[in-house]
Structure 1
Amino acid sequence: MSQLSFFSAESVPPAIADLTGILAASGQVVLVGGAGEQGARLSVVVDELWRAEGLAEMIADADLEPEIARTEEDSPLVRTSVDVRLVAIAAEWTRGAVKTVPPQWLPGPRELRAWTLAAGRPEDDRYLLGLDPHAPDTHSALASAMMRVGIAPTLIGTRGSRPALRISGRRRLSRLVENVGEPPADPEAVVQWPRV
């Protein structure tokens, strides 16, 4: 029987800011509407349906409307409805049309869970949190944010199509596992979830 950590994602009340973990991965936020009625939408393309379903659950927990669709390449796509409450996140995470990491951003348990759902995968005895290959300027800032929460990663694959933060070592992996909580019930999710 596993004991639930006080710091894990299950012990933290849901908030819209949790979804910024999607932006740490390859998620996007776009402003929609004019000056009078402006909202924003968060979206991310993932490689497995269980990831989209897990993120849709987090979106619903944050009191937003989730939608799961498919891209033209038949990859699962999960997104929020357009909502005025996402405008602040859009302002913090973009400079012009470029995705950026807010200087004060720290990945808490639920942000780490969203990031893991969007782009986490095991690599032997290490764990990778995928980064956005189209936003290389975010990579170092995200590595620094992880260091500030006590999970020092190694930045890998920056010249390829699958950049990631590699987390290795028992203590760092334990901290990640403790934060992200239990995997979704899907058997593939269990295989892909971080463990020590």
Structure 2
Amino acid sequence: MSQMSLFSAETDDAAIDDLAGLLATHGQSVHTQIGARISVVVPELWRAQAICRDITAIGIAAEVSESEEGSPLARSEANPRLTALHRRWSSGAVKSVPDGWTPSPRALRLWVLAAGRPEGIHYVLGLDPHAPDTHAPLATSLMRVGMAPTLVGAQGRQPALRITGRKRRTRLLETVGAPPQDPTARAAWPTPS
């Protein structure tokens, strides 16, 4: 029998900094006159809907729309409360990981929602192919929470951090909690084996 982790997305209170989980992957932040906005294109509608629910839980309005390519898009409203997060994750016009960033359980859940998928006996968390300088710091951030990953596909269009081993996959599952209610979400969710 497995014991529930004391540090789980299901027990943590939602916070603005959790949205960094979207920026850890291919999510983008832009600054407007009103404040910053965070958005991420995902391959399936259930992902966009779940991300919007998590953004709304923080007290920021969010909506599901469609990208120019026709994929589901989850995005927050432009809000001044997101400006500090945008600035921490930006170095000029380039995405950068803040020094010492460690993903909270909810940030890790958002990362899984946006770009997590099983790959054989492994689980992978997608990275931003347009921000290669973030890959190594993000690998280090996962090491800080006990999930030492392997960087895969660094030169390709789908770079990712691969989590291998029952212990690490179990830790990931305990941290991110249960999948969304959508039946297709279970197939994309982390499992111990």
TM-score higher than 0.5 here?
A: yes
1:5 matched residue in structure 2: 5
Matched, 1:169 2:168: no
* Partners of 2:77 and 2:45 in 1: CA distance: 19
Match of residue 47, structure 2, among 46, 51, 75: 51
Q: How does 1:1-196 map to 2 (within 5 A)?
A: 4-33=4-33, 38-196=34-192
* Partners of 1:42 and 1:174 in 2: CA distance: 29
Q: Secondary structure at the match of 1:79?
A: strand
Q: What is the aligned-residue identity percentage?
A: 55
Task: Point out the more displaced range, 126-135 or 4-13.
Answer: 4-13
Shift of 1:3: 5.7
* Partners of 2:96 and 2:62 in 1: CA distance: 24
Which residue type is aligned with residue 12 of structure 1? D
How big is each residue's C-alpha offset from its partner over 1:61-88, in whole Å with a ceiling of 9 and x where there is no partner?
0000001100121100010000001000
Shift of 1:158: 0.6
Q: For residues 75 and 161 of structure 1, do their structure 2 counterparts lie closer, same or farther at Cα, with a shift above 3 Å needed?
A: same
Shift of 1:176: 0.4
Q: For residues 190 and 2 of structure 1, do their structure 2 counterparts lie closer, same or farther at Cα, with a shift above 3 Å needed?
A: farther
Shift of 1:2: 7.1
Which residue type is aligned with residue 40 of structure 2? V
Unmatched segments (≥5 aa) in structure 2: none
* Partners of 2:25 and 2:170 in 1: CA distance: 21
Q: For residues 59 and 180 of structure 1, do their structure 2 counterparts lie closer, same or farther at Cα, with a shift above 3 Å needed?
A: same
Q: For residues 2 and 76 of structure 1, do their structure 2 counterparts lie closer, same or farther at Cα, with a shift above 3 Å needed?
A: farther
TM-score by length of 1: 0.95
Shift of 1:159: 0.7
* Partners of 1:14 and 1:70 in 2: CA distance: 26
How big is each residue's C-alpha offset from its partner over 1:120-153, in whole Å with a ceiling of 9 and x where there is no partner?
0001111000000011110001001111111100
How many residues were matched structurally? 192
Which residue type is aligned with residue 160 of structure 2? A
Unmatched segments (≥5 aa) in structure 1: none
Q: Secondary structure at the match of 1:127?
A: strand
* Partners of 1:186 and 1:79 in 2: CA distance: 20
Q: For residues 149 and 4 of structure 1, do their structure 2 counterparts lie closer, same or farther at Cα, with a shift above 3 Å needed?
A: closer
Q: Secondary structure at the match of 1:186?
A: coil
TM-score by length of 2: 0.97
